[in-house]
Amino acid sequence: MQNTAEYTCAYCGEENVTFVDFSAGGQQSYVEDCQVCCRPNILYIRIDEETLDVEIDTEYEG
């Protein structure tokens, strides 16, 4: 099972990798700083229960 997924920073547009906790449910949200520009992104994570595919949307925090 893959425990990481990629998302695009809402500020600088760079790709980031984050760890996903599959035991936390099919829909999650939390704040994570961009690994490039260090600005906070709100991550909205959706996990398909059948395929375990992960989709992540981001938006600016604040």
10-residue stretch averages of pLDDT, the chain, 62 residues long: 88 97 94 97 96 95 80
Asked whether 29 and 18 are in contact (CB, 8 A), the reply is: no
R_g of the chain computed on alpha carbons: 11
Asked whether 22 and 4 are in contact (CB, 8 A), the reply is: no
Based on the structure, what is the number of domains in the chain?
Answer: 1
Give the separation between CA 49 and CA 25, rounded to whole angstroms.
Answer: 9
pLDDT at position 12: 97
pLDDT at position 61: 85
pLDDT at position 1: 54
pLDDT at position 62: 75
Asked whether 47 and 22 are in contact (CB, 8 A), the reply is: yes
Structural domain boundaries enclosing 10: 4-60
Kindly give, in sequence order, each residue whose CB lies less than 8 Å from that of residue 13, ignoring residues fewer than 6 positions away: none
